[in-house]
Structure 1
Amino acid sequence: MTECGEIPDYHGPHTQPLKPGHTKLNWYEPSNRVQRVRVVLHTCQCRHTVYELCSAAGQGSIRRTDHEKGTVHETAWALTATARSTFHRILQGEAW
């Protein structure tokens, strides 16, 4: 239980190790397609690579930030349900 005004510490889930036969996703340079992007879900910041499920204008994308290399990439924008499914596949080690 947190005290009034205190925000609990939330790290986000960790990705599982890649499974045999995982799907290789296409990653692109960020497109700046929209002015504002909402991060709906994200993985834990303790890893070198952080994944974020992003949403804007009824569509979604996955942003991948590699803090070790200093790079940011994203998947193609798609229907929100498709992006959410892809994010969960990444979490389960079924896609990279």
Structure 2
Amino acid sequence: MRVHRHTCECKATIYELCSAGGLMFIRRTTRGVKMEIRESERLVSARMQVLWVRLLSGEAH
């Protein structure tokens, strides 16, 4: 697994754009009393890049 981009570590919720096995996904880590890690579905790069931009611009959650 490789992390290509990530949001600021200073926030309680961190997003990472990752790839593995030729597909990309977004990993969300929420830190607090209990750390929770969730991952999106795996998609081809072109589709996941669009989702990543939408996430950073506030258009996707």
TM-score, normalised by the number of residues in structure 2: 0.91
Instruction: Look up the match of 1:44.
Output: 8
| Higher relative contact order (CA closer than 8 Å, sequence separation 6+) | 1
TM-score, normalised by the number of residues in structure 1: 0.60
In angstroms, what is the RMSD of aligned CA positions?
0.9
Q: Deviations over 1:28-76 (max 9, x none)?
A: xxxxxxxxx1000000001000000001222100000001240000100
Structure having the higher strand fraction is 2
Instruction: Look up the match of 2:53.
Output: 88
Residue ranges of structure 2 left out of the alignment (5+ in a row): none
Structure having the higher helix fraction is 2
Specify the structure having the higher radius of gyration (Cα): 1
| Runs of 4+ that moved beyond 4 A | none
Name the CA distance, whole Å, in 2 between partners of 1:78 and 1:65: 19
Matches within 5 A, 1:27-38: 37-38=1-2
